Structure 1
Amino acid sequence: MLPHPGELLHFSEDPSIRDFDPHVAATAQQPEAYVWTVDALNSPCYWFPRQCPRVCSWDASPEAGVPRVHTIEEAWLPTLRATTLYAYRFDAADFEPFGERPHAFVATHAVSPLGPPEQVGDLVDLHAEHGIELRVLPELVDHFTEVRERGQEFSGIRMGNAGIGPDGPFPTRR
């Protein structure tokens, strides 16, 4: 599920949102209220349950031949398989790039989707259809460190939930 030309996407597990009002996200690092969307490059980073920690990495130059890799913790795999995700399409003209190296696009005013939300489909299959390797590891923290040290493009999302599965903290390992 990628945006069409001139569009941006917002992913949600809630199919009943009619209008999007700017708000300060619980995980925000800035005080401004926004409506958040993503482009085609960053959309695959949101093909997950909202609270699922994940590390997405890729090489910015396609000629390098390095595949895009998304990694989650094994405790989240059943939730990934069971989650129904929806994509809302928006006119890109209503949004501005966020940050020096934009990873998202924001609006500071209320916006309405271009139409009803679209069900994204099987999230594991979606990765395969787009040639994205989906890795499942016992834990993410060491992997996240390795990805950052490699110098590839990356996104670590909901990393505050790493080590905490959908049913609570992981048991202590010996």
Structure 2
Amino acid sequence: MRPRPGEVLHFSEDPTITRFEPHVAPTAQVGDPYVWAVDSERSPSYWFPRDCPRAMAWATETSTRADRDRVLGPGGGDRVHAIEYGWLEAMRAVRLYAYRLPVASFRPIGTPIPNAHVSTRPVVPLGPPEPVGDLLALHEECGIQLRVLNNLWPFWDGVVSTTLAFSGIRLRNAKPRR
């Protein structure tokens, strides 16, 4: 599930949204009210239940072979997502929807590489939300490793010291560090 040209996506478990209003999320690290969306490259980071903690890593042109092999594994593709066992059933059961939104309403946010797109104005979806479907199958179809771990922190701590790109979302919901 990726946006088409001229679109960005907003993923939600709520299939009834008809208009997105800018707001400050309780967990936001920015104080401005925004409508949030993601582009094609960032979409896989949201193929999860909303509150599911996940740690992700992917190879870039500056990633070393040693880091690729250590984190992704030999022949392991270019991207890995990790969740905890306690979230596996939610991954199987969640009904996730993608809202297609006009990219012209948004601007990229994040440096040095944008990690999202934001709008300071209300945004109306381009159509009804689309069911994302089986999240495990989606990962498989896109060649993204999905690792299920007892605890995310050892993986996260190992990834952030590599030359791979990485992202952690909802890590506050992960089990405590050991």
User: Structure 2 residue aligned with 1:95, among 106, 123, 130?
Assistant: 106
User: Structure 2 residue aligned with 1:75, among 67, 86, 105?
Assistant: 86
1:136 equivalent in structure 2:
148
1:44 equivalent in structure 2:
44
Q: Write the distance in 2 (CA, Å) between the matches of 1:60 and 1:106.
A: 24
Shift, 1:122, TM fit: 0.3
CA RMSD of aligned residues (A): 1.9
2:10 equivalent in structure 1:
10
1:111 equivalent to 2:123? Answer: yes
AA at the equivalent of 1:152: L
1:59 equivalent in structure 2:
59
1:160 equivalent in structure 2:
172
Q: Write the distance in 2 (CA, Å) between the matches of 1:60 and 1:115.
A: 34
TM-score (normalised: structure 1) = 0.91
Q: Deviations over 1:103-135 (max 9, x none)?
A: 000000000000000000000000001110100
Q: Relative to 1, partners in 2 of residues 1:62 and 1:16: Cα closer, same or farther, differing over 3 Å?
A: farther
Shift, 1:61, TM fit: 2.8
2:135 equivalent in structure 1:
123
Which 4+ residue blocks in structure 1 deviate beyond 4 angstroms?
Answer: 62-66
Q: Write the distance in 2 (CA, Å) between the matches of 1:120 and 1:157.
A: 19
AA at the equivalent of 1:129: E
Percent identical residues: 55
1:23 equivalent in structure 2:
23
| Greater alpha carbon shift after TM alignment, 118-127 vs 57-66 | 57-66
| Greater alpha carbon shift after TM alignment, 114-123 vs 93-102 | 93-102
Gaps of at least 5 residues in structure 2 are 66-74
Aligned length: 166
Q: Relative to 1, partners in 2 of residues 1:62 and 1:77: Cα closer, same or farther, differing over 3 Å?
A: farther
Q: Residue 131 of structure 1 aligns to a residue in which SS?
A: coil
Q: Write the distance in 1 (CA, Å) between the matches of 2:121 and 2:155.
A: 38
Q: Write the distance in 1 (CA, Å) between the matches of 2:26 and 2:60.
A: 30
Gaps of at least 5 residues in structure 1 are 165-172
Shift, 1:148, TM fit: 0.5
AA at the equivalent of 2:160: R
Shift, 1:151, TM fit: 2.1
Shift, 1:62, TM fit: 9.9
Q: Deviations over 1:19-73 (max 9, x none)?
A: 0000001110111000000001100000000000001110123997752100000
